[in-house]
Chains A and B, each alone.
Chain A
């Protein structure tokens, strides 16, 4: 009963926050409400026994997306004069669609089909890791994960096409010293998350997102001047996850008897996965950090 009450409150809160973010008059409120919505989502994932997602959502939904949105928000200053949007027509249409969707989700059978989960459990022993989510991500459906890293890289490449700089303010001494104190802890924590991912919730993405937030904090306080795409080492690390992944995949094709793309031999699977994950963590962290803070200030690049 207590749990149900918690669920009701959480769901009501989620809907209220989302609705308020969509309908609020001012964008600042919308963004703030959206960040709160992200935090609540993380809570919901934890409640629904998805700790991996809760970790990822907390780092992303609440942290990085918020930072990104506030950067965009800073440019809306002086940008006003949108006509007052219509409410009723969209509302009626969307209410009809929601009712349809609501009816549809109640048609979902409560009895799950467990064949796929059973298959995962069966093969977990030969996957190289003991945490099923990591096994799916880095072994059973590794191709999805490789493409996902590519999507992340593309976001960075695309964003680099359209640079727009916001001046970084000189570090406030208190925040500078705080950032110096926080970042080693974040580094340690993300290494722990990565290591733990083999056996328990955690893994490359969560660790990478956490590390990225550490990098962003430091960068915003005028540290880490080397953090730039122009820096060859940074570029190498951004690409390292994909390069390691592709090379591991191609190497697996060369092994005798293994003629399938991305099939790790059982004996080496654990090692390969850890290797790929480590590079992926670094790549994810640097990519996300570069996405949030952009390039350091320089003279205007030639158009």
Chain B
């Protein structure tokens, strides 16, 4: 039970750390990384929630795992697109 709350707390703190990076920047690349950290915090929250039944001796919540997997793909796609835009922005002759 204690570790469940530990991971929940970590998830909340990751959200905070990510938001700090997103606000502070200053480079765009770091902002993109920060968004990924926020995403990781949310996924951590969801996976901890999926872990809840295990505390009661039942298997983990597979629906949440599927949702996080979908979320991971969406996150990596968005990151790839953002990095492509960033690459073009930086490579552009000034």
Contact = CB atoms under 8 A, between A and B. Distances in A.
A and B touch in the complex (CB under 8 A): yes
Interface residues of A, number: 89
Contact of B80 (A48, A97, A155): A155
A108 B8 contact: yes
Given A44-B7, A65-B76, A205-B73, A22 B37 contact: yes
B33 A56 contact: no
A260 interface: no
A3 B58 contact: no
Contacts of B68: 50, 53
B61 to A, nearest CB: 5
User: 6 shortest A-B CB distances, which residue pairs?
Assistant: A98-B16, A22-B21, A159-B84, A132-B62, A155-B77, A136-B66
Could you say which of B8, B33, B67 has the most chain A C-beta atoms within 10 Å of its C-beta?
B33
A188 interface: no
B72 A151 contact: no
Given A22-B34, A34-B36, A90-B24, A112 B3 contact: no
Contact of B81 (A4, A57, A159): A159
28 contacts: A4-B6, A11-B10, A14-B14, A18-B40, A37-B37, A41-B40, A44-B7, A48-B50, A50-B68, A60-B72, A72-B29, A72-B90, A75-B86, A75-B91, A82-B25, A82-B26, A95-B16, A97-B15, A102-B9, A110-B4, A112-B49, A136-B63, A141-B66, A144-B67, A158-B84, A162-B84, A164-B88, A205-B72
A27 B37 CA distance: 15
Given A41-B40, A76-B29, A151-B74, A136 B62 contact: yes
A283 to B, nearest CB: 12
The main secondary structure of chain B at its interface with chain A is helix
A15 B10 contact: yes
Given A65-B76, A90-B20, A27 B30 contact: yes
B69 A117 contact: no
A73 B29 contact: yes
Contact of A76 (B19, B27, B44): B27
B39 to A, nearest CB: 10
A155 B26 contact: no
B12 A112 contact: no
A93 B26 CA distance: 17
A37 B40 contact: yes
A57 B72 contact: yes
Contact of A154 (B3, B24, B81): B81
Could you say which of B6, B36, B65 has the most chain A C-beta atoms within 10 Å of its C-beta?
B65
